Amino acid sequence: MRQMRQKNPKVTPQKSTTFRTDQLILIVDHYRVGQRIALMQLNYFGLSAHVVSSCRQAMAALRRRHYALVLIGWGMPNCDGVACTKFVRRLEVRRKKQTNVVAVTAHANKGDKERCMAAGMDDLMSKPITMEDMQQMIRKHLKAA
């Protein structure tokens, strides 16, 4: 996979040592293009991620390991991001480890961020997600080394 280059001077690549190395990200998106873009952006900032295409796969991945951050499609088919977030929150109680959940949507409407927060999510990002958007989200939701 090629590195994605951005000409925006506000965005500088983060070395993997900027963030704790035990922080893994889970991308939950049923669109392959969305998966690839998110993965390339995270890799650009020196971060690692696992990718799944359904909430069922996300729940299986979350049972196996802890993720510091879950980027999840707001409108996933069959099982939406809200149901998956409830699952994450139940795991948090059992494991006593926090997991940040950020909804990702291409169709953000007024009040969606509030609905996400009410559903237990930590944030909402609207597509298209720029490199600067991704960098700000990473800084907000991941712990520095």
Q: Is the dihedral of CA 62, 27, 136, 103 positive or negative?
A: negative
Sorting pLDDT into bands at 50, 70 and 90, what band is 145? Answer: low
Handedness of CA 124, 136, 72, 39 (dihedral sign): positive
Q: How confident is the model at residue 16 (pLDDT cuts 50, 70, 90)?
A: very low
* 127 alpha-carbon distance from chain centroid: 13
pTM for the model stands at 0.84
The encoded tokens of residue 51 equal 């990718």
What pLDDT, in 10s, does the model give residues 98-114? 999 999 988 777 888 88
Q: For 23, how many CA atoms within 13 A lie in the half-sphere containing its CB? A: 22
pLDDT of the residue at 22: 67
**In this structure, what token pair is assigned to residue 22?**
């035990």
What is the CATH T-level fold of the domain 21-67+77-141, as seen in this structure?
Answer: Rossmann fold (3.40.50)
Number of H helices, E strands in the chain: 5, 5
64 by DSSP, 3-state: which? helix
Residue 143's nearest CA partner among 33, 17, 40, 53 is 17
- What is the pairing mode between strands 100-105 and 49-52? unpaired
Q: Where along the chain do its domains lie?
A: 21-67+77-141
The string of pLDDT tens digits covering residues 38-85 is 999 998 888 899 999 999 999 999 999 999 999 998 877 777 788 889
Structural contact between residues 64 and 50, judged by C-beta atoms closer than 8 angstroms: no
Which is higher by pLDDT, 81 or 128?
128
